[in-house]
Amino acid sequence: MDLKRTPLYDTHRALGAKMVEFGGWEMPVQYQGILDEHRAVRNAAGLFDIDHMGQVRVTGADALKFLNHLLTANFSDMEINSAKYAVMCYADGTCVDDTFVYRLKNEYMVVVNAGNRDKDNAWIKAQAAGFDIELKDVSDEFYMLAFQGPKAEAVLQKLGTFNVADLQYRHAREFSLGSERGIIARTGYTGEDGFELFVPNARGKEVWDAILEAGKDDGVLPIGLGARDSLRFEAKFALYGHEIDAHTTPIEAALGWACDLNKNFIGRDVLLKQKLEGTTKKLVGFEMLERGIARAGYEIASNGNVVGVVTSGMPAPTLEKNIGLGYVPPELAKVGAEFDVIIRGKPTKARVVKTPFYANRARGK
Amino acid sequence: MSSGKEISYPNDVKYAASHEWVKIDGDTAIVGISDYAQDALGDIVFVELPTVGMELKAGDAFGVVESVKAASDVYMPIGGAIAATNDALKDAPETVNSDAFGAGWLLKVFPYNAADLDKLMDAATYKSKIESGEIH
């Protein structure tokens, strides 16, 4: 299969990026190094090409009703120009994908994961029967960038194009580039204050270059997928294919806060049952007590029996500890509980800790 | 994968297709990973090395080098007995990034199987196979 490239591919190469396959796309995994990039986002700001993510526009008289049926969150009280996280479930409660939904003036926009775009489009379309809505994949209309970190606001303000000083966390607003329209939102997936931009597609490189230039004396770096993963991991944001997939439910994945079980949506009955009766596995965060790094796919054992699996694991750059996320039975899901992670055949002690590992320094204003 | 940085291929070591190098120092063989390998792995955060005294054959996995993203096995480019391991890497694994052919060495092998050296590549061959994509 030919890998897709974003229009910034040559720009990434010129910046020294190493390119890797991700979700069918050839994307930068790192520029100068994952650790430097991770720290740049925590201490200054970093710019991400996330144009591989998909956007589906939902319009029509039943748009709100449809999204409340399709997704776990309740959108009924959502303000215009705001954003909300939600999971898309199958009827058995397992996850099709996780999404961010933006409510704009005359439309909703659902942002989905790159590797799930085709599957999600097909699923969403199949659920639309009987609703008075229009669906359109608008991924090619917008160039999606993320600009995250404590200095992101100040750097954007220098540009003049975006007025973000009074933009609230999880809120969005439109901006103009000449005659074209874009959207900027105070959202992100790094655990820092920051923004996601939907730039008119042909203007992606122009905005990318302008932000890097404006931030060059502030320590702003371009950030690859490697640090994107370590940043979201420290903040305990789920990643499809790791913490959530078609074998796990949002309740098991500790995403109950994103599910409004008082409304009806696809998968709700299963989630409600799990909420009331409990689940056989729960997602926990843990810290290694002995030398060794837990990695996705490693087994978790207790008293010599395999009882669970690691979903993400790495040395956390901000915490300088080896930590992980994984599924364990409920009796091991309490803070302080200990179990073994099997690292290359060797049981290695780990302990459940409070999450997120890294708490947001700033949630915006 | 490739990056903007210049990769070095010193001539005084021999290379395995799995990206380890061997340098003969008297009766001892010193083993490490190549500059290409450390660059491809990225920030190295953990190195697991074998017990001194173990005897391993060429091609045997002898340890693991872990970057932020992933764990990669490393293989004996030459058979022999593990005479020493680089303990300094326990506290400073990033030395493998900064000095792959020097202070970032992994093992000393003594005695070693000299016949295995013939199966390794010189710098020019290793470099050309990487640049042509034959090994990666």
CATH number of the domain to which B24 belongs = 2.40.50.100
Chain A residues with CB under 8 Å of a chain B CB are 15-20, 29-30, 33-35, 38, 226, 229-230, 291-293, 295, 314-315, 317, 344
CB contact under 8 A, B42 and A317: no
Neighbours of A1 (CB within 10 A): 5
Peptide bond connecting B111 to the previous residue in cis, omega within 30 degrees of 0: yes
Calculate the CA A111 to chain-centre distance. 10
By CA distance, what is B94's nearest residue in A? A35
| pLDDT tens digit sequence for B9-55 | 999 999 999 999 999 999 999 999 999 999 999 999 999 999 999 99
CB contact under 8 A, A315 and B64: no
Query: Which of A198, A171, A194, A164 has its CA nearest to residue A182?
Result: A198
CB contact under 8 A, B42 and A19: no
Q: Provide the 8-state DSSP code for B135.
A: -
| Residues in A touching B5 (Cβ below 8 Å) | 16
| Residues in B touching A28 (Cβ below 8 Å) | none
- Sign for the CA dihedral angle at A261, A262, A265, A266 comes to positive
Asked whether residue B94 is domain-assigned, the answer is yes
User: What part of B 94-133 touches A (C-beta under 8 Å)?
Assistant: none
**Taking 90 as the threshold, does the pLDDT of residue B3 lie above it?**
no
Asked whether residue B2 is domain-assigned, the answer is no
| Residues in B touching A295 (Cβ below 8 Å) | 70-71
Q: Please state the domain count of chain B.
A: 1
| pLDDT tens digit sequence for A67-77 | 999 999 999 99
Neighbours of A181 (CB within 10 A): 14
| Residues in B touching A226 (Cβ below 8 Å) | 42, 68-69
pLDDT at B1: 41
pLDDT at B29: 98
**Interface predicted TM-score (ipTM) of this complex, two decimals:** 0.82
pLDDT at A365: 40
| Residues in A touching B69 (Cβ below 8 Å) | 29, 34, 226, 229, 314
The answer to whether the CB of A103 falls within 8 A of the CB of A187 is no
| B42 closest CB neighbour out of A19, A226, A292 | A226
Asked whether residue B49 is domain-assigned, the answer is yes
- Distances in Å between the alpha carbon of B60 and those of A360, B33, B89? 45, 15, 21
Asked whether residue B104 is domain-assigned, the answer is yes
Q: What is the 3-state secondary structure (H, E, C) of A28-79?
A: EEECCCHHHHHHHHHHCCEEEECCCCEEEEEECCCHHHHHHHHECCCCCCCC
Asked whether residue B23 is domain-assigned, the answer is yes
**Taking 90 as the threshold, does the pLDDT of residue B4 lie above it?**
no
**What's the one-letter identity of residue A216?**
K
Flag whether residue B46 sits within 8 Å of chain A, measured between CB atoms: yes
Mean pLDDT of B84-113: 97
- In which residue are the tokens 């775009």 written? A117
Number of H helices, E strands in chain B: 4, 9
| Residues in A touching B92 (Cβ below 8 Å) | none
Q: Is A147 exposed, middle or buried (0-12, 13-18, 19+ CB in 10 A)?
A: buried
Q: Domain containing B57: what range?
A: 14-115
Number of H helices, E strands in chain A: 8, 19
CB contact under 8 A, A19 and B1: yes
By CA distance, what is B2's nearest residue in A? A18
pLDDT at A123: 98
Asked whether residue B135 is domain-assigned, the answer is no
By CA distance, what is B42's nearest residue in A? A33
Mean pLDDT of chain B: 94
pTM: 0.92
Q: Which helix (H) or strand (E) holds B126?
A: helix B123-131
CB contact under 8 A, A18 and B1: yes
What is the mean pLDDT, run by run of 10 residues, along chain A of 365 residues? 91 96 94 96 98 96 98 97 98 98 96 95 97 96 96 96 93 92 95 96 96 97 97 96 97 98 98 98 98 96 98 94 97 98 96 92 48
The answer to whether the CB of A354 falls within 8 A of the CB of A335 is yes
| A16 closest CB neighbour out of B4, B46, B69 | B4
| pLDDT tens digit sequence for A162-179 | 889 999 999 999 999 989
Contacts of A56 (CB under 8 A, 6+ apart): A109, A110, A112, A120, A121, A124, A135, A136, A137, A138
| Strand pairing category for A321-328 and A305-316 | antiparallel
Query: Which of A221, A240, A217, A144 has its CA nearest to residue A185?
Result: A144
Flag whether residue B11 sits within 8 Å of chain A, measured between CB atoms: no
Contacts of A364 (CB under 8 A, 6+ apart): A167, A168, A169, A170, A186, A193
The answer to whether the CB of A252 falls within 8 A of the CB of A274 is yes
| Strand pairing category for A46-49 and A221-222 | parallel
In chain A, what are the domains?
A: 9-49+140-234 (3.30.1360.120), 54-137 (3.30.70.1400), 280-365 (2.40.30.110)
The answer to whether the CB of A356 falls within 8 A of the CB of A363 is no
CB contact under 8 A, B71 and A229: no
Flag whether residue B4 sits within 8 Å of chain A, measured between CB atoms: yes
φ/ψ bin of A108: left (φ > 0), alpha (ψ from -120 to 50), beta (otherwise): beta
Q: Give dist(CA A106, CA B99) in Å, integer.
A: 57
CB contact under 8 A, A17 and B3: yes
Asked whether residue B83 is domain-assigned, the answer is yes
CB contact under 8 A, B40 and A17: no
| Residues in A touching B64 (Cβ below 8 Å) | 344
Asked whether residue B30 is domain-assigned, the answer is yes
Taking CB atoms and an 8 Å cut-off, how many pairs form between chains A and B? 48
